[in-house]
Amino acid sequence: MDLIFAEATPPGRSGVSVIRLSGHKARRVAEQLAGPLPIARNGYFRSIRDGEEVLDRALVIWFQEGHSFTGEEVTEFHLHGAPVVVRRVTQTLTRCGARQAEAGEFTRRAFQSGRMDLAEVEGLGDLLEAETETQRQLAIRAANGELGKKAEIWRGLLIRAGALVEASVDFADEEVPEEVPEDVYSILAELRTHLDNEIGGFPAAERLRKGFEIAVIGPPNAGKSSLINRIARRDVALVSNIAGTTRDIIEVRLDLNGLAVTFLDTAGLRSSTDEIEQMGVDRAKRRALAADMRLHLSETNEIDQELWRDGDLSVATKMDLELYKVSGNSVSSVTGEGIDELLSHIHDRLSLRVAGAGIVSHERQLSALVEARKALSDTEQIPPELLAEAIRQTAASLDRLVGRIGAEEYLDVIFTSFCIGK
Ligand code: GDP
């Protein structure tokens, strides 16, 4: 593998900038800049030179092949965090034969050298993108290889079942065994339960990872925008405020006590005689219905039956005006009354929905699991001679789950979403 480098820390000024160099001769090249580095994983405080010229004084550490993030020989330069220092050092490394890494290339090498499985790579990607506490918690479990460990246990069950089937074939007088030991069926039933549990926990885990969408709907002037603005301003952990996918929808992302939540302001939800506007309204309605929950706002606590779904909340607005006597949730976006209660109500409901979250949170992982589960369906009815094949298919699906096979088509998609230097 050729020698690659990248800034591991964000570009710009900082106390320290770390450049990582990975590949064959990573140590030798580093020694050209920093002098001898005899012991691996040892911090050396050295002058970093381009020929005779001292570029910086920095901490240099090298890692042996097999003991680094990428699995290759790696050197880290902990430079002073000035862009010009980083630039000079990377120019020198380029002259020494190294090249700038592509996005995700370090992680790709870690995967290719077997340091990480595909589910860990996905977990690491999620960790780098995590904005809230629950996203971080899920991602770190995935990045630590929790799914791979489960898959290993499941493979162990398959190997046991497979061995029992093989043995019954070997011992049978004819080629095809009449009877398969009962144990095979109980092992496969156990595995089915594991897979069902994990598949069942997918929707919740995916919600944790991607966050929830809450559509704020109601008639014009119900106070939708005011409520969203109030929530966004009050919430100290506001993440961002980005324009929606359609002209009619504003998205406000925030951290609701650790849960990632996007509030959708569906400003356009009114009937219109204008055909184009009506199309926009229909689109907004579809979006509102696709959301995880809807807040139905009105001054009178009325709801739109067409858009009401189980788990929705009705919210009376403008409680400071006391226009109507209403029961249930009521808020004032002017005084802030009722907002905290509403948010904690929403949080409680969403928390219930993520209670059974598993570790599988990506479609790719789910489809491998579903495939594995399918291969194990009706094993009681499968003739013994086909049982071994079903077991092999299940094992292949589990291999796909961790990227042992069939990873290529996903790699580019996954790694291009990584930043350079990861
Ligand atoms: P939307 O059309 O549903 O987004 O409603 P807006 O948020 O634009 O609010 C419509 C009008 O109601 C505006 O004049 C707001 O200032 C007013 N309004 C919204 N919320 C409150 C509130 O809680 N109290 C009072 N007094 N006025 C409000």
Give me the CATH number covering residue 88.
3.30.1360.120
Residue-level pLDDT at 270: 67
Residue with CA at minimum distance from ligand 1 atom 27: 318
45: tokens are 């405080």
CA of 85 to the centre of ligand 1 (A): 53
User: Which range among 265-279, 301-315, 357-371 shows the weakest confidence by mean pLDDT?
Assistant: 265-279
pLDDT at 245 over 50: no
Q: What are the beta bridge partners of residue 266?
A: 249
pLDDT level of residue 176 (50, 70, 90 thresholds): low
Q: Is residue 282 part of a domain?
A: yes
Judgement on whether residues 193 and 87 belong to the same structural domain of the protein:
no
Residue-level pLDDT at 382: 79
Judgement on whether residues 29 and 126 belong to the same structural domain of the protein:
no
Q: Is residue 322 part of a domain?
A: yes
State whether the beta carbon of 337 lies less than 6 angstroms from ligand 1.
no
Question: Which atom of ligand 1 lies nearest, measured to the CA of 220?
Answer: 2
User: Which is more confidently placed, 119 or 272?
Assistant: 119
Please state the domain count of the chain.
3
State whether the beta carbon of 268 lies less than 6 angstroms from ligand 1.
no
Residue with CA at minimum distance from ligand 1 atom 26: 318
The reply to whether 226 sits in an annotated binding site is yes
- Which tens digit of pLDDT belongs to each residue from 190-203? 999 999 999 999 99
Judgement on whether residues 263 and 140 belong to the same structural domain of the protein:
no
User: How far is 256 from 390, CA to CA, in rounded Å?
Assistant: 45
Q: Token match 């049978």: residue?
A: 172
Judgement on whether residues 228 and 179 belong to the same structural domain of the protein:
no
Percent of the chain with pLDDT over 90: 66
Judgement on whether residues 242 and 344 belong to the same structural domain of the protein:
yes
Question: Which atom of ligand 1 lies nearest, measured to the CA of 331?
Answer: 23
Residue-level pLDDT at 236: 38
Residue-level pLDDT at 193: 95
Listed residues 310, 329, 353: the one ending a domain? 353
pLDDT at 259 over 50: yes
Q: 22, 68 in Cβ contact below 8 A?
A: yes
User: How far is 147 from 154, CA to CA, in rounded Å?
Assistant: 10
Maximum pairwise Cα distance, the chain: 88
Q: Is residue 16 part of a domain?
A: yes
Nearest by Cα to 78 from 93, 96, 56, 63: 56
Judgement on whether residues 334 and 392 belong to the same structural domain of the protein:
no
Residue-level pLDDT at 1: 79
For 47, the enclosing helix (H) or strand (E) is strand 44-50
State whether the beta carbon of 323 lies less than 6 angstroms from ligand 1.
no
Judgement on whether residues 223 and 347 belong to the same structural domain of the protein:
yes
Residue with CA at minimum distance from ligand 1 atom 16: 226
pLDDT at 17 over 50: yes
User: How far is 149 from 136, CA to CA, in rounded Å?
Assistant: 19
Q: Is residue 74 part of a domain?
A: yes
Listed residues 97, 112, 127: the one ending a domain? 112
Q: Which domain holds residue 369?
A: 119-201+360-415
Judgement on whether residues 17 and 123 belong to the same structural domain of the protein:
no
Ligand 1: residue of 224, 225, 226 to mutate (most ligand atoms within 8 A of CB) is 226
Residue with CA at minimum distance from ligand 1 atom 11: 221
State whether the beta carbon of 334 lies less than 6 angstroms from ligand 1.
yes
Percent of the chain with pLDDT over 70: 92
Q: Is residue 421 part of a domain?
A: no
Judgement on whether residues 100 and 228 belong to the same structural domain of the protein:
no
- CA triplet 337, 343, 348: central angle to 5 degrees? 140
User: Which range among 70-79, 119-128, 377-386 shows the weakest confidence by mean pLDDT?
Assistant: 377-386
Judgement on whether residues 230 and 131 belong to the same structural domain of the protein:
no
State whether the beta carbon of 302 lies less than 6 angstroms from ligand 1.
no
Question: Which atom of ligand 1 lies nearest, measured to the CA of 222?
Answer: 3
- Give the pLDDT mean for 93-108: 94
pLDDT at 109 over 60: yes
Q: Is residue 288 part of a domain?
A: yes
Residue with CA at minimum distance from ligand 1 atom 19: 223
State whether the beta carbon of 220 lies less than 6 angstroms from ligand 1.
yes
- Write the DSSP symbol of residue 274: -
The reply to whether 222 sits in an annotated binding site is yes
Concatenate the DSSP letters of all residues of 373-408 into one string. HHHTTTTTTS-HHHHHHHHHHHHHHHHHHTTSSS-H
CA of 220 to the centre of ligand 1 (A): 9
Listed residues 112, 131, 147: the one ending a domain? 112
Residue-level pLDDT at 396: 94
Judgement on whether residues 234 and 330 belong to the same structural domain of the protein:
yes
User: How far is 169 from 386, CA to CA, in rounded Å?
Assistant: 11
Q: Is the pTM of this model over 0.85?
A: no
Residue with CA at minimum distance from ligand 1 atom 20: 223
pLDDT at 338 over 90: yes
- CA triplet 349, 330, 207: central angle to 5 degrees? 20
Question: Which atom of ligand 1 lies nearest, measured to the CA of 319?
Answer: 23
Whichever domain contains 397, its CATH number is: 1.20.120.430
The reply to whether 377 sits in an annotated binding site is no
Whichever domain contains 217, its CATH number is: 3.40.50.300
- Give the pLDDT mean for 228-232: 87
Q: Is residue 420 part of a domain?
A: no
For 313, the enclosing helix (H) or strand (E) is strand 313-316
pLDDT at 222 over 60: yes
Residue-level pLDDT at 244: 37
Judgement on whether residues 104 and 135 belong to the same structural domain of the protein:
no
The reply to whether 244 sits in an annotated binding site is yes
- Give the pLDDT mean for 40-66: 97
Ligand 1: residue of 216, 221, 252, 319 to mutate (most ligand atoms within 8 A of CB) is 221
